[in-house]
Homo-oligomer: A and B are copies of this chain.
Amino acid sequence: MSDAPTEKGRATRARIVEGAAEVLREQGVAFTTLDDIRGRTGTSKSQLFHYFPGGKDQLLLAVAQFEADRVLEDQQPHLGRLDSWESWRQWRDAVVERYELQGDHCPLGSLFLQVGRSGPGARAIVTGLMRQWQEQLARGMRALQANGLVPSDLDVDRTAAALLAGIQGGVTIMMSTGDSSHLKAALDTGIEHLRTAGRTEGSGGNRCGTDGAPPWP
């Protein structure tokens, strides 16, 4: 995938991707031209097409992959060690901080709307990112189960999917409104759900359980 015969070539290619990512984060993909990228990275037109023969689309795809990798990296080491309530809290704070710092432009979101359904490439990047992210969340939940902090009958995969969706939506809303409260609400409610889920049947007596609410499969 990343063909770079010489050392200098690899460096230049990396510089292009990183610089392009910067510009795209600042201006948004819709308002970014190859000349902007060229200017920022101190390269010439021919270099851009030398390293990305597929043109702008290929470059955008490379940037998308670059950003996708960053997403999970920026949540480490917390995301990898979600085995206690404290670690979950630290992870939550890391996520909030990361996206509050990022400002009001979602690199990936906009990237994919531009690249669109152009081939399986773009879709594969998002799909892969989502899968890994959700897997790590699920693993964390299972760690809680193993430690007896979460009931073992919790549907981990579904809960992880819901939490991931909440984060995603919280970020989306923040990008549009500039307000991070939805992201926080999604994270906190999602984590709170871990502490309360599965405790409605067979526990206390009074207002629990079956008020006609179906579990609807």
Contacts and interface: CB of A to CB of B under 8 A. Distances in A.
A162 B189 contact: yes
Interface in A174-203: 176-178, 181-183, 185-186, 188-190, 192-193, 195-200, 202-203
A180 to B, nearest CB: 11
A158 interface: yes
A198 to B, nearest CB: 8
A70 interface: no
Query: How many copies of this protein are present in the complex?
Result: 2
A105 to B, nearest CB: 9
A212 B150 CA distance: 12
Secondary structure class of chain A's binding surface, majority of residues:
helix
Interface string A30-69: 1100000000000000000000000000000000000000
Nearest to A183: B165
Nearest to A126: B176
B130 A173 contact: yes
Contact of A116 (B31, B170, B172): B31
Interface string A114-156: 1011000001001100100000000000000000110100000
